[in-house]
Amino acid sequence: MSVMTQAPLFRGTNLVKEFPSGTGGIFGRSKTFRAVDDVSLEVSRGETLALVGESGSGKSTTARLAARLMDVTSGTVEIDGVDVTKASGKDLRGFRGTVQVIFQDPYSSLNPRHTVERLVTAPLTYQQRKIPGGARAFTRELMERVGLNPNHSERYPAQFSGGQAQRIGIARALAVSPRLVICDEAVSALDVSVQAQVINLLRDLQKDEGFGYLFIAHDLAVVRQIATRMAVMSQGRIVETGPRDSIFEAPQHEYTKTLLEAVPRIDPEWERRRRLAQDLRVATSASTSTGTEKEG
């Protein structure tokens, strides 16, 4: 018997997505624009691959291809080594139970006319799966898991704060017990303290469930908190990929360096050293100054 090499949880290979971009003159053929240009990436169980890059670099399009919310122009999407690029019907429903997406704006991704209970159980209804323990008990349990008051299961999204609404989005994603969770700027709209809470929640869930995350964020300070590996995108291509620390500490590609230079530093140790260095510079320049500078 041969030893099987275990396929990664998720694998996208040579993904391409072209969009029409007008025509080339009256007689011209229709032109296309490659939003995603030969992207390959893998996510293993329990790992967080952060996809970073400037606005318009193709991150969300990559996420949509990975989640089969959009068809590829070419390339393949695999889950556990099974090609799901063309999956439809029952197979696609099965795929939707394995891969869930959490978007940036919780309010616009949650139907405002549906209660939490309806929102959270909808993916199971779509999956034509029985709701374990009944809808109410199931919803309450999920709400507790994501830190929401289970007594609020009959409320509507507008009755929650942004951070709470995002937790509803997370609860809904959890409902189908997914294995890959794609977060497309999932914490970007939240203020910093709420952001930290939601990141901790995502981390705890990963520890408990072994989720793989494809985590898209433009904020590298956030990425630093959650990523295990990173892929850097520019103009539809992945220009650099590697473990988080090597990307942050020794970026190879010029584009990555530029991207990192724009990071606001919130690492307390870094901040302490930066202040120290600044104080030293001030002290040095003061001691070498001619005394003609104004004080204060």
Ligand X SMILES: Nc1ncnc2c1ncn2[C@@H]1O[C@H](COP(=O)(O)OP(=O)(O)OP(=O)(O)O)[C@@H](O)[C@H]1O
Q: Which residues contact 208 (CB under 8 A, 6 or more apart)?
A: none
Structural contact between residues 151 and 127, judged by C-beta atoms closer than 8 angstroms: no
Phi, psi of 86 (to 5 degrees): -115, 10
Closest CA relative to residue 35, chosen from 19, 24, 23: 19
In whole angstroms, how close is the CB of 22 to ligand X at the nearest point? Answer: 11
| One residue of 12, 58, 123, 178 binding ligand X per CB under 6 A | 58
Nearer to Mg ion, 18 or 78 (CB): 18
**Residue 60 contacts ligand X per CB under 6 A:** yes
| One residue of 93, 218, 237, 253 binding ligand X per CB under 6 A | 218
**Residue 19 contacts ligand X per CB under 6 A:** yes
* Site of interaction with Mg ion (CB under 5 A): 60
**Residue 189 buriedness (CB in 10 A; 0-12 / 13-18 / 19+):** middle
**Residue 109 contacts ligand X per CB under 6 A:** no
| One residue of 47, 52, 59, 205 binding ligand X per CB under 6 A | 59
Residue with nearest beta carbon to Mg ion = 60
Alpha carbon 155 to chain centroid, angstroms: 27
d(CA 68, CA 77): 8
Nearer to Mg ion, 60 or 206 (CB): 60
**Residue 231 contacts ligand X per CB under 6 A:** no
- Contacts with ligand X by CB under 6 A lie at 19, 35, 53, 55-61, 218
